[in-house]
Structure 1
């Protein structure tokens, strides 16, 4: 499962402090993402160079499912491309410009993939 966002003051509806000792902040229902089949996933593959010292990184976004499945997919892509990378915050980062190869590999696995960006 992908980590939930950190709570900030805006998440509490403007309540910053309460003198009522029995007051409890209302908790939102956390939605657990269901595991979608590969053919129902809509992934985007893009190249990113921003804030990386000019180095190119292939980014795969749009994955819906458990963190373990994301890490397994990331490991498969890194192995097939022969490079390093990571699975962070629901995205897969592959070091280098491997957009075409990643799109081809994901399509072979049955994912719906679009190339995004330049």
Structure 2
């Protein structure tokens, strides 16, 4: 007995919908001023810094989480900055522009 049969026996009146799930729109507040994407080296290792967001901290933390998952790298959120390990300015800027943010490249 597979999962579908078990569910039918548990919920005989349920009719499954054939509609695909819709993507939820972004809940992050978009701003007029561009986000600044900088490159630095700390202790000889490259990092990318994103700053200039003037919305809620929780939205910026969520954005940091999405960027880290997209790039599969480490990073942190400190002092109203997102710090990503490595030089990923181009990919981050493209991702932010797809989400509707304006970006500005600084350094190098």
Q: Which runs of 5+ in 2 are unaligned?
A: 1-27
What corresponds to 1:38 in structure 2? 30
Displacement of 1:80 in angstroms is: 0.4
Q: How many residues are aligned here?
A: 81
Displacement of 1:60 in angstroms is: 0.4
What corresponds to 1:58 in structure 2? 48
What corresponds to 1:113 in structure 2? 103
Q: If the length of structure 1 is used for normalisation, what is the TM-score?
A: 0.65
Displacement of 1:41 in angstroms is: 4.0
Q: If the length of structure 2 is used for normalisation, what is the TM-score?
A: 0.70
Runs of 4+ in 1 over 6 A off after TM superposition: none
Displacement of 1:53 in angstroms is: 1.2
Displacement of 1:65 in angstroms is: 1.3
SS at match of 2:87: coil
Take 2:86 and 2:45, find their aligned partners in 1: how far apart are those partners? Answer: 7
The structure with more strand, counted as a fraction of residues: 2
**Greater Rg over alpha carbons, structure:** 2
| 1:84 is the counterpart of 2:74 | yes
Take 1:64 and 1:39, find their aligned partners in 2: how far apart are those partners? Answer: 7
What corresponds to 1:68 in structure 2? 58
CA RMSD of aligned residues (A): 1.4
Q: Which runs of 5+ in 1 are unaligned?
A: 1-35
